Structure 1
Amino acid sequence: MKPANLIFLLKLLIILVSGQVLAVESKVKLPVEPKVSWRKAGQLPAPKGFNKSIGIAGAYSGFIGNYLVVAGGTNFPNGHPFFDKGVKQYYSDVFVFDTENEQFDLVAQGHLPSARGHGAAVVAGNSLYFVGGKNNDKAFGSILKLTLDDNLQPVIKAVNQLPFAWDSGAAAWQDDSLFVFAGKRNGVVSNAVCQFSLKQQKCINKDKISPIPGLARADFPSIKHQKQFYVFGGANVQAGKGRYVLTDAYAFDFEALNWRTLTPITVKDQPYSVAGGGVAVINGEQFILLGGVNRQVFNDAIFQLTTSEKDRLSKFKQYYFSLNEQEVNFSRQQLIYDFNKDNWSTLSKEVPFTGGAGPLAISQKDNQIYWISGETRPVIRTPNVYQATVEPVQ
């Protein structure tokens, strides 16, 4: 065969093979990235006695129907604790917002029995339960029930009391019991689980429920979904150098009363922090994790703040509290956990605003997710509330 003919045949073969490959590739269904569209919904009002809203962290939040309730929380209204000797302040304010048709209208206000934050909010039917929390004076074991009357005014009643003071953990309602996970019990970071019976007024099934695997933890994103309760990372400032920020993850089965270890939290194959952030469900088969402190920055900060003394401590505080939002680098990633495949990925776009922690509050109604206030860097809050719409995957 002449060389020219051989070259022609080779070219023809390449074209045919390429066409077959393209045909096969065209039949392969590539994964579709969830589409999450963000907008600024509005701002939190100023608490009673203040003219300006500077935002809060550690608030209770949840939906009753179309009404988003935001309560309590904390900030520094009289200046920075290092630069201005400002003192942290807790609030009792309760705000009720109508979110129907993507509005964000304040329709009612009220007050908790006392100022508090850093507790847990649990939705149960047409009620919200605010569990535990703390303020500058003490931590609480109280369980408050919030409902809305015919005029949408919040009605709050103390319905029970945990057998310990508790804050900075997570809670869920299941089988007429209130489950309380980790956080701080009587001021000590814990990994214990209490199935609290409101009827018996005590923790039950103590011998059947194991603590969360791994280290004790606080300020972790968590979510209940399909009779499972998911715990992601968190923080333990007593864990030792380089270990303050946790990146492990677990799921609790409410029926079997046991834990399952999940794939650790990673971005680009590196451990990733979501401590101080929040979580919501998207498209019924994935979670989206939002916000959280930067692992390296926070690990170093806790080490320096807990081991340095006198001039060295003062110099570090001067440095750390002067960091801007980009340097503190609270997470702006939209981190996706697929609980059927047990794997992690990120959306191609970050949230179009400053990252948050503190912890920030994340609340959800159907395909609407609300990012409520929180810190943009240590001490500094934002009053902004952002709303995301999750479009169904076709």
Structure 2
Amino acid sequence: MNKPVYLFLLLILMSTMLSRGVAQTAKSDSGWSELPPIPDPIGFAGSFAGVSNGTLLVAGGANFPDGGAPWTGSKKAWHDHIFALQKPDGKWKLVGKLPHSLGYGLSITWKDSFIIIGGSNEKGHYADVSMLKFNKDKLSITTLPVLPKPIANTSGVLLGNTIYIAGGIESPDAQNAGDNFWAMDLSAKNMAWKKLETWPGPARMFAVAGALDGKFYLFSGAELVHGVRNYLKDAYQYSPKTGWKKIADLPSAVTAAPGTAYATENSLRIFGGDDGKAAADAALPREKHPGFSKQVLSYSPLTNTWSVADQIPAPAPVTTTLTIWNGNVVIPGGEVKPAVRTPKVLMYKTIKH
């Protein structure tokens, strides 16, 4: 082989290897990966999720066990299982059961405990609050003060040692969403729920809550008026010292996005959600639903502005929980289209800005 041809082929080979290296780096730097899937072929929506003593716990939820949908005659089933994953490359284990089947409530991780608040099943909505602890392969469940009213499809977050809860619906046949705003200090000697002043906007369910720099945030959700949903883009900030104020609207609704919002050092991020566009298209058959938003929206309190920070690289789930495990965002299961669940567990490498 003459020298010019040899050099030409060598350059092609080096270019190919370099291109492959760049592609591999881009893939590994994307921030997204998957944990072992939930051990169910269908998956669940409305599951609770949290962390106790370094173990990821996923509990309850609902699905259509035959893989169908309400409009095909399938019946929704609620579940009481509690699954545990002790390391990212491990296997899920069934470690216990909830006091009863339950889903669509609020999940809070506090210290070494995972707290389950409210929720619903085929019998109705609940005001129960349970604290789960998992340690040395043993699960314990204790009860905390009940909510002022039963609630499901709510939003909330931990701010310091205090749980804040906003909105939801009180019963399966509720015609209007709630404007409830409750708080309970977990460090108080005599824990009790307090009713607080509500936000200066519509009542809502399926909102997204967040906490940053000592303030509570309420984003989007759906207003329910006489049983009809209105997808919301408004947002509010609450200071325990000064109360509520309205902040910049979202670019689009993020109804039922995995909650809570993820807090970076100076922003709050919301992963996906239902923007309501498909719901507004009456001519769109349910089986042709395109899925939910894949945008990761970022809110900056400093500038009171929104931006698109990332894209979810898989079908984006709603009606599920966002929790932090080993410093990373974890989104287990959820609903990727109406009535369609997923057993996938998404993980996003967190950022510091």
TM-score (norm 1): 0.74
Match of 1:86 in 2: 74
Tell whether 2:257 aligns with 1:277: yes
State the alpha-carbon separation in 1 of the partners of residues 133 and 179 from structure 2: 31
State the alpha-carbon separation in 1 of the partners of residues 263 and 143 from structure 2: 33
State the alpha-carbon separation in 2 of the partners of residues 282 and 123 from structure 1: 14
Equivalent in 119, 144, 153 of residue 168 of structure 1: 153
Shift of 1:356: 2.0
Tell whether 2:218 aligns with 1:231: yes
Which structure 2 residues correspond to residues 311-322 of structure 1 after superposition, within 5 A?
Answer: 320-322=285-287
State the alpha-carbon separation in 2 of the partners of residues 195 and 72 from structure 1: 24
Give the counterpart letter for 1:113 in structure 2.
Answer: P
Shift of 1:107: 4.6
Q: In the superposition, relative to structure 1, how do residues 364 and 294 fare at CA in structure 2: closer, same or farther (>3 Å)?
A: same
Tell whether 2:207 aligns with 1:220: yes
Shift of 1:392: 4.1
SS of aligned partner of 1:297: helix
Shift of 1:74: 0.7
Equivalent in 155, 175, 179 of residue 164 of structure 2: 179
Shift of 1:161: 1.6
Task: Provide, for residues 328-385 of structure 1, a one-character-per-residue CA deviation record: whole Å limited to 9, x for no partner.
Answer: x4011121111222111113x521111222x122111364111211111100011101
Q: In the superposition, relative to structure 1, how do residues 108 and 191 fare at CA in structure 2: closer, same or farther (>3 Å)?
A: same
Gaps of 5+ in 2: 1-28
State the alpha-carbon separation in 1 of the partners of residues 299 and 75 from structure 2: 38
Which structure 2 residues correspond to residues 13-32 of structure 1 after superposition, within 5 A?
Answer: none
Q: Which moved more, 1:125-134 or 1:162-171?
A: 162-171
SS of aligned partner of 1:141: coil
Are the equivalent residues in 2 in contact too, given 1:335–1:345 (CA < 8 A)? Answer: yes
SS of aligned partner of 1:194: strand
Tell whether 2:32 aligns with 1:44: no
Give the counterpart letter for 2:268 in structure 1.
Answer: F
State the alpha-carbon separation in 1 of the partners of residues 180 and 63 from structure 2: 29
Give the counterpart letter for 1:213 in structure 2.
Answer: P
Shift of 1:92: 0.4
Q: In the superposition, relative to structure 1, how do residues 58 and 115 fare at CA in structure 2: closer, same or farther (>3 Å)?
A: same
Tell whether 2:98 aligns with 1:112: yes
Shift of 1:159: 2.7
Are the equivalent residues in 2 in contact too, given 1:127–1:147 (CA < 8 A)? Answer: yes
Gaps of 5+ in 1: 1-34, 47-52, 267-271, 302-315
Match of 2:339 in 1: 379
Q: In the superposition, relative to structure 1, how do residues 299 and 389 fare at CA in structure 2: closer, same or farther (>3 Å)?
A: same
Tell whether 2:350 aligns with 1:370: no
Equivalent in 88, 95, 100 of residue 83 of structure 2: 95
Which structure 2 residues correspond to residues 195-210 of structure 1 after superposition, within 5 A?
Answer: 195-196=183-184, 203-204=193-194, 206=195, 209-210=196-197
State the alpha-carbon separation in 1 of the partners of residues 275 and 326 from structure 2: 29
Give the counterpart letter for 2:308 in structure 1.
Answer: T
Give the counterpart letter for 1:179 in structure 2.
Answer: Y
Q: In the superposition, relative to structure 1, how do residues 391 and 104 fare at CA in structure 2: closer, same or farther (>3 Å)?
A: farther
Shift of 1:233: 0.1
State the alpha-carbon separation in 2 of the partners of residues 239 and 344 from structure 1: 31
Q: Which moved more, 1:247-256 or 1:279-288?
A: 279-288
SS of aligned partner of 2:278: helix
Equivalent in 300, 316, 339 of residue 338 of structure 1: 300
Give the counterpart letter for 1:192 in structure 2.
Answer: N
State the alpha-carbon separation in 2 of the partners of residues 360 and 156 from structure 1: 22
Q: In the superposition, relative to structure 1, how do residues 196 and 387 fare at CA in structure 2: closer, same or farther (>3 Å)?
A: closer
Equivalent in 177, 185, 191 of residue 189 of structure 1: 177
Q: In the superposition, relative to structure 1, how do residues 124 and 73 fare at CA in structure 2: closer, same or farther (>3 Å)?
A: same
State the alpha-carbon separation in 2 of the partners of residues 163 and 122 from structure 1: 18
Match of 2:139 in 1: 154
Match of 2:267 in 1: 286
State the alpha-carbon separation in 2 of the partners of residues 39 and 66 from structure 1: 19
State the alpha-carbon separation in 2 of the partners of residues 275 and 254 from structure 1: 25
Give the counterpart letter for 1:160 in structure 2.
Answer: P
State the alpha-carbon separation in 2 of the partners of residues 253 and 103 from structure 1: 40
Shift of 1:232: 0.9
Q: In the superposition, relative to structure 1, how do residues 390 and 176 fare at CA in structure 2: closer, same or farther (>3 Å)?
A: closer
State the alpha-carbon separation in 1 of the partners of residues 151 and 71 from structure 2: 31
Are the equivalent residues in 1 in contact too, given 2:44–2:342 (CA < 8 A)? Answer: yes
Shift of 1:299: 3.5
Q: In the superposition, relative to structure 1, how do residues 105 and 344 fare at CA in structure 2: closer, same or farther (>3 Å)?
A: same
State the alpha-carbon separation in 2 of the partners of residues 263 and 124 from structure 1: 30
Shift of 1:82: 4.1
Tell whether 2:341 aligns with 1:361: no
State the alpha-carbon separation in 1 of the partners of residues 158 and 298 from structure 2: 25
Are the equivalent residues in 1 in contact too, given 2:215–2:237 (CA < 8 A)? Answer: yes
Q: In the superposition, relative to structure 1, how do residues 215 and 322 fare at CA in structure 2: closer, same or farther (>3 Å)?
A: same
Are the equivalent residues in 2 in contact too, given 1:181–1:194 (CA < 8 A)? Answer: yes
TM-score (norm 2): 0.82
Q: Which moved more, 1:332-341 or 1:130-139?
A: 332-341
Q: In the superposition, relative to structure 1, how do residues 172 and 202 fare at CA in structure 2: closer, same or farther (>3 Å)?
A: same
Identity percentage over the alignment?
A: 23
State the alpha-carbon separation in 1 of the partners of residues 191 and 34 from structure 2: 42
Q: Which moved more, 1:366-375 or 1:209-218?
A: 366-375
State the alpha-carbon separation in 1 of the partners of residues 267 and 296 from structure 2: 12
Equivalent in 323, 332, 336 of residue 288 of structure 2: 323
